A and B are shown apart, each in its own frame.
Chain A
């Protein structure tokens, strides 16, 4: 053991020397996205294809800001060969100083598929620290997208049902050209489990209407759970122009 100490000591000495010679604290503080509005709204927004989106963005950093990126892409997973295409946009802006405000605008292409899109805003500082991003949803509308003509229940308001009830939907989904898919889901908002999940494919080439009475015809009734809970109803229709129309509402079972 006596022989090993002289060998071991230089090791410890070198480690202590290097680990104690820090020049200054490195900048590891993340920048911060203070606010984001799209068309003046600080929540999710709706806009028509061909219109302009106006952003107002405020970012902060403890030392020096560097860049802001707006990344937009669709949040639907169906694609077809069609005149309309899902819009994707990546735009980077240089910023400086400790606080910066910018007001960029982006024009939605006239041929953007309708449907839900994600807007992801992020920011980095001059040292490469990345902020926590902000996610917003934009619903893009398009002429000729499927139209939901639901007569009952009123999906403009939250719905109340008793346990075990059947959620009867009356009305139609209308389309100027050809519907390709209807997808209805009911999700438990607490557990995120789907308690109803049905996709109806429309393989024809001129399906201009889908009637909700199909749910009864095909024995696909939306029967609510027998326990109480809070659910999220989502109805999505897709046409052959890759347009999506989505309608969503809360359903309370108590």
Chain B
């Protein structure tokens, strides 16, 4: 974990805890965070979602867990975040470039999943959580055990969930002028299952702390067959089961080993996060739909990608004097990718990167803080050439396609950030952050050349791409009183060499692939703002208002960038009160969110009409003598409105999003002394 109090003071930050995430009852971890202004998610149906911060996604958002950057082929539009949402207790989201502390990819922002707090000495907690969601008959459970004795702590969690095909409020969808059926308003083959577990143990001593953790996320999920290639009526016929996971689909395994240790020093502490992670991704598809030449019909592995990443982060926090602090650190990462399957998309590669940074925080007075820092990075990539061999039915080679070159290069770049935070009279706080960030091109951007099943287009990299560089200015205006807080956070970024997929004026020679989308660079303007207000009318009743807008412009062709989230505003009243007797507390809340139409789109990208969504929740916390229980009921899309999500993979099909969905979550938290006797009920 990076202790960034000083930086926090000038960057725009959101934070959430376990209660917030559970209350959202989202399909995924990212869906649970979407309520926050400036945060959205890019989805493939239900179950796959990736983070979007102020319209930035893919390799521009870093997700860290226990200080280790998650590496899971995040360049892919259909590659979701491999995080168990029930295992997240605390998360902070840095909106805007944060390359200084987090490295090259943190150009758009950071989702920083912090380690859970350690249980009080001599206590053990056991939590059982069960949930059901009506729309896709999802059910699951998450079990947690954690404890501390003699300052040795452990924690173990297992989460299981299964869901069926999800329902949309429509009987048909229109693609390219052809009307196609949605049988029983149910999207065929969108079922999935997840099995996640995590284990960690550690020790706290006067010299510091040591923790070792292991997590595994595994998911199997189907894709709506109409989304891969041109949807045809015959491929959309029901398959007799709403719970089977058929082809096309994907299977993901993500394993992480992490070691964190902090050692106290004479004038501060030395902090270390070491990690090794393995990401196995298999994308399954029927070979005949995409094959040039003959492919064994039994072979359904279109694309397999194995990614191995080792990371070392080490930093020294030094308290120079009462007013001046410093963080100096190094980051090192080694990534190795191997691919297989009957299709080719990205080459095998080895990528190593290292960075050195230093950040000073000067608390001039109790009401004014200044930060300044710099960073230098060196990164090298070695990509292996690839020839795709085409066979006939007798396994004779009939053609060899050259897809990707041997390529190796190094990139050097630097970052700079400076910020200030002033607390003025009358509860005003002003924050200013300016900086320069960069991002080196990913292996996909350099070497991709093939049809990507998830996005179903021919994506092509370019080895001549240069690192993208962003110049940023962020402002925060905060006004607060005993009863309210108002935050206005505008941002302005200018990028040179901004990397994106541009549809070109040439068709792919590959089957069913349309035009070639090439990774291209352009100068880009990226701006916008969030407005957030919270007002406590009385102690029990509070009202939240949030609005956000992102504006971007490709300065080479004067078109907007693709996948720009639409502007939105929301109102959320919540009434929370104490109950009587066994009813400890209860709440009732509502979320009303309006999304504006997104008419600013890139070439060949569809515009998306605006829509209004209603959600409501109610929850009770029961407290009995020996045990307690929490029950939550939430309804999403209560009016069952048929709407299109501009960031959804299924948007191009004009496919409406998930219909009305009721969730029920029950949690039983128990607390014991480590002698085995139950001591109390906990929250």
A interface list, Cβ under 8 A from B = 1, 3-4, 7-8, 11, 14-15, 18-19, 22-26, 28, 30, 66-67, 69, 71, 73-75, 77, 79-81, 85-86, 88, 90, 92, 118, 120, 122, 124-130, 132-133, 135, 191-194, 197
A75 to B234, CA, bound (A): 9
A92 to B428, CA, bound (A): 63
| Contacting pair B506 A124 (CB below 8 A) | yes
| Contacting pair B603 A129 (CB below 8 A) | yes
Partner of B289, one of A8, A73, A85, A197: A73
The distance from the CB of B575 to the nearest CB of chain A, in whole angstroms, is 32
A1 to B286, CA, bound (A): 62
| Contacting pair B504 A15 (CB below 8 A) | no
A125 to B510, CA, bound (A): 19
| Contacting pair B511 A73 (CB below 8 A) | yes
12 contacts between A and B (CB under 8 A): A3-B424, A7-B430, A15-B525, A18-B553, A26-B557, A74-B288, A85-B393, A86-B288, A125-B505, A133-B230, A135-B176, A193-B184
The distance from the CB of B562 to the nearest CB of chain A, in whole angstroms, is 12
A15 to B393, CA, bound (A): 59
The distance from the CB of A1 to the nearest CB of chain B, in whole angstroms, is 6
| Contacting pair B477 A133 (CB below 8 A) | no
The distance from the CB of A132 to the nearest CB of chain B, in whole angstroms, is 5
Pairs of residues from A and B, 5 with the lowest C-beta to C-beta distance, nearest first: A192-B181, A69-B507, A79-B297, A66-B505, A128-B503
**A-B contacts at CB below 8 angstroms, number:** 125
> Does B475 have its Cβ within 8 Å of any Cβ on chain A?
yes
Partner of A88, one of B232, B292, B503, B558: B292
B interface list, Cβ under 8 A from A = 171-172, 176-178, 181, 183-184, 230, 232-238, 286, 288-289, 291-292, 294, 297, 393, 422, 424, 428, 430, 432, 473, 475, 477, 490, 492, 502-507, 509-512, 514-515, 525, 527, 551, 553, 555, 557-559, 603-604
| Contacting pair B505 A124 (CB below 8 A) | yes
Interfacial chain B residues near A15, Cβ < 8 Å: 492, 525, 527, 551
Q: Assuming the A-B contacts A67-B507, A118-B230, are A79 and B288 also in contact, with contact meaning beta carbons closer than 8 angstroms in the complex?
A: yes
Interfacial chain A residues near B514, Cβ < 8 Å: 122, 130
| Contacting pair B503 A194 (CB below 8 A) | no
A8 to B109, CA, bound (A): 22
Q: Assuming the A-B contacts A7-B432, A19-B525, A79-B288, are A132 and B171 also in contact, with contact meaning beta carbons closer than 8 angstroms in the complex?
A: no
Partner of B515, one of A4, A18, A128: A128
| Contacting pair B512 A71 (CB below 8 A) | yes
Q: Assuming the A-B contacts A128-B502, A130-B503, A132-B176, are A23 and B477 also in contact, with contact meaning beta carbons closer than 8 angstroms in the complex?
A: no
The distance from the CB of A127 to the nearest CB of chain B, in whole angstroms, is 6
| Contacting pair B511 A11 (CB below 8 A) | no
Q: Assuming the A-B contacts A4-B430, A22-B558, A28-B603, are A66 and B527 also in contact, with contact meaning beta carbons closer than 8 angstroms in the complex?
A: no
| Contacting pair A11 B509 (CB below 8 A) | no
| Contacting pair A124 B515 (CB below 8 A) | yes
A86 to B171, CA, bound (A): 32
A1 to B424, CA, bound (A): 9
A125 to B604, CA, bound (A): 11
Interfacial chain A residues near B238, Cβ < 8 Å: 194
A69 and chain B: residue at smallest CB distance: B507
Interfacial chain B residues near A120, Cβ < 8 Å: 230, 512
Interfacial chain A residues near B233, Cβ < 8 Å: 192
